Homo-oligomer: A and B are copies of this chain.
Amino acid sequence: MKLHQLDNQISDLVERQVPGHSLEQMFYTDPDIFEHDMHRVVFNQWLLIDHESRIANRGDFFIVDVAGDEIIIVRENDDKINGFYNTCRHRGSKVCLNKEGNKKSFVCPYHAWCYNLDGSLRGAQLMGADFDKSTHGLHECHLNIYEGLIFICLADGSPPNFDEQVNRMQPFMDLHDLANAKVAHRYSWRLQCNWKLVIENFIECYHCLPSHPELSSVHSKAKYKAFGSGAASAMPEAMAEFEPELQAWRKQASSLGYTIDMWGDDENSGSLQGAQRLPINFAEGTLSETRDGKLASTLMGKFSACDGGTTAVSFNPLSTLLMPNDYAMIFRFTPISAEVCDVEIVWLVDKEAQEGIDYNKENLSWLWYQTTVQDGEITENNQAGVRSRRYKPGPYSQHEASNNTFLKWYLRLIG
């Protein structure tokens, strides 16, 4: 009912947002708008949630929280992974009380209804002859695997075409071969802020110099000025400054046979996807996103020599990969409620790399662990300030061009 009221008002709300500015307070705090966001935006995206090496064996599972719902991700067999809502078809109890583990089947702790790993109802004691087990399997969510990556979609109806969403990433993904990667480390944060502030923080680097000393010391400052907020933000003078470094790196990368492509969807796209390869800090000979600029693990995929580049692949604003030559990171941003959002980084390395020999977790995760802790504080302070009665949407700089695009995309989808 509330949602229905909102439907009548949402077009007015969308209409009055000022282009080039952050949104009005209620978009960051209102529970009804949050629910609307979920149904209009988040549940219609293919959310990248983890790497399939996390659940290598039949019956391995984990639970991911999405917007107040628990989704069970479970391996049915070598070729199939499924996603189920954690609610029994009998009286609604959670069927799974563990956050991860291995199960032969899911037996509801209440009345022992038993579900197979494909979600079908195997047994329900004493339900009588008329009861049709075939219509009482666990509620399933859409799930697909691409290059070892697990994607789910919580759409009530049809999800976006998965192949179209991922195939365009192939030239980039080929290089890194994540299908042959494994999870090396992970870290997650539950932030007290709206999910859009997390994304707005992630897609611009206007804040990097003041806020991220470690990140800024590893990466090329000229690059951040030119490309900090994606290709669209490249101002002529900043581009001119970065151009020599970029061209030198591109020449080397191309000679090694690696793509140097770069593209990004505009606000009229379905998922605001983008992909690019850029040098980390070519002038300084930086090889990877690490404290000392050296590799943190063995080269992955097709990299025979390190080109000092890093690849960004964004399937949608909530699902991004950052990949130097030697490791990859899944950045998972998952809305929980109007003022709560989960952030998780999953670090991947080549599946043959050995911990303690080829890599260690601390070195692997150092740069982005520091950076994400800082971003967590930043976004929580952003949320706190937005709660002020006097908060007014403020203007974006050209370095926040991608924020502008993100909000136009968002407002189009919810309008």
Contact = CB atoms under 8 A, between A and B. Distances in A.
Interface centre among A95, A209, A391, A396 (most CB of B within 10 A): A391
Contact of A69 (B94, B95, B389): B389
In this complex, the member of A95, A387, A390 whose beta carbon has the largest number of chain B beta carbons within 10 angstroms is A390
Nearest to A1: B9
Given A128-B397, A394-B136, A388 B93 contact: no
23 contacts: A22-B90, A67-B389, A70-B388, A85-B389, A86-B385, A87-B390, A89-B394, A91-B396, A92-B385, A92-B391, A92-B393, A93-B384, A94-B381, A94-B384, A107-B210, A109-B210, A109-B211, A109-B381, A110-B210, A125-B206, A127-B395, A136-B394, A139-B392
A225 B126 CA distance: 9
**How extensive is the interface on chain A, given as a class?**
35 or more
A207 B88 contact: no
In the A-B complex, the 8 residue pairs with the smallest Cβ-Cβ separation, listed nearest first, are A112-B210, A87-B388, A92-B386, A85-B390, A87-B385, A94-B385, A139-B390, A93-B382
Interface of A: 1, 9, 22, 25, 67-70, 85-95, 97, 107, 109-112, 124-128, 131, 136, 139, 200, 206-207, 209-211, 225, 377-378, 381-382, 384-399
Given A206-B126, A207-B110, A399-B126, A88 B394 contact: yes
Contact of A398 (B90, B124, B128, B139): B128
A263 to B, nearest CB: 24
A68 to B, nearest CB: 7
Contacts of A139: 388, 390, 392
Contacts of A128: 397-398
A401 to B, nearest CB: 11
A181 to B, nearest CB: 31
A95 to B, nearest CB: 7
A395 B126 CA distance: 12
Contacts of A207: 110-112
A112 B388 CA distance: 19
Kindly report how many copies of this chain are found in the complex they form together. 3
Residue with the greatest number of chain B CB neighbours at <10 A, chosen from A87, A91, A390, A393: A91
Contacts of A127: 395, 397
Contacts of A97: 381
A146 to B, nearest CB: 24
A67 B90 CA distance: 28
Residue from A125, A128, A386, A388 with most neighbouring chain B CB atoms (10 Å): A388
Contacts of A88: 385, 394
Contacts of A210: 107, 109-112
Nearest to A197: B91
Given A1-B9, A388-B85, A382 B206 contact: no
A22 B91 contact: yes
Among A9, A67, A125, A393, residue most surrounded by chain B Cβ atoms (within 10 Å): A125
Contacts of A392: 89, 92, 139
B110 A388 contact: no
A200 B93 CA distance: 13
